[in-house]
Amino acid sequence: MLLGIVVNEGPYTHQASDTAYQFTKAALEKGHSIFRVFFYHDGVNNGTRLTVPPQDDRNLQKLWTELAEKYKLDLVVCVAAAQRRGILDADEAKRHGKDAANIAPGFRISGLGQLIEAGINAERLVTFGD
């Protein structure tokens, strides 16, 4: 089955991010395909490379990055939601006169069209969080 995943919650504010990661990993391990993982609202906070959780806590950004690398996943962070939360790639940082980018490896910034495309192409679109 071809799945699209939407993550609406941040990695340390709600269980939805953990659940989305575990669901995505399990689906891939069972042979399903993921069209795209789209991070929206506070979910964009999964895509910052500046997250530094305590050593005994999970690092969801790193886990998503590793999963994306292993399975060639398309991890898309909503541009508008990311900008509101200070998450920028090099192009957005330059465009807005900022001196640094903080998007994590494996993630990319794009617009809501990517979410619409996932909904059209995936057999199921599974949403995690409000």
Q: Of 78, 87, 104, 118, which residue is the catalytic one?
A: 78
- Number of residues that this document lists for the chain: 130
- H helix or E strand, kind and range, residue 67: helix 60-71
For the chain, helix, strand, coil in percent to 5 are 40, 20, 35
Is 68 a catalytic site residue? no
* Rounded CA Rg of the chain: 14
What is the rounded distance in angstroms from the CA atom of residue 12 to the CA atom of residue 29? 25
Catalytic residue numbers?
Answer: 78
